Amino acid sequence: FDVRKHLLEYDDVLNKHRESIYAEREKLLSDADLRSNIRDMIDKEISDLVFTFLADEHG
């Protein structure tokens, strides 16, 4: 039973990631201003990396 429970949890995580990726894909395909979207994605990724690095340094 535990294996099935973990499998369902894993499937839920994959589904959330899939939904997120497809939402970003749809935004990129439907928006004419790709530069702004890509810049926002890069800014978010840099912020996440800095936060992770600082958390590792101080955590």
Q: Which structural domain, as residue segments, surrounds residue 37?
A: 2-58
Q: The tokens of 24 are what?
A: 């970003």
Give residue 47's pLDDT. 96
Q: Measuring CA to CA, how many Å separate 28 from each of 22, 38, 58?
A: 10, 8, 36
User: What total of structural domains would you count in the chain?
Assistant: 1
Going residue by residue through the chain (59 aa), what tens digit of pLDDT does each one get? Answer: 888 989 999 999 999 999 999 998 888 788 777 788 889 989 999 999 999 989 877 76
Q: Measuring CA to CA, how many Å separate 19 from each of 16, 35, 38, 57?
A: 5, 22, 18, 32
The pTM for the full model equals: 0.50
Axis crossing angle, helix 34-58 with helix 2-30, rounded to the nearest 10: 140
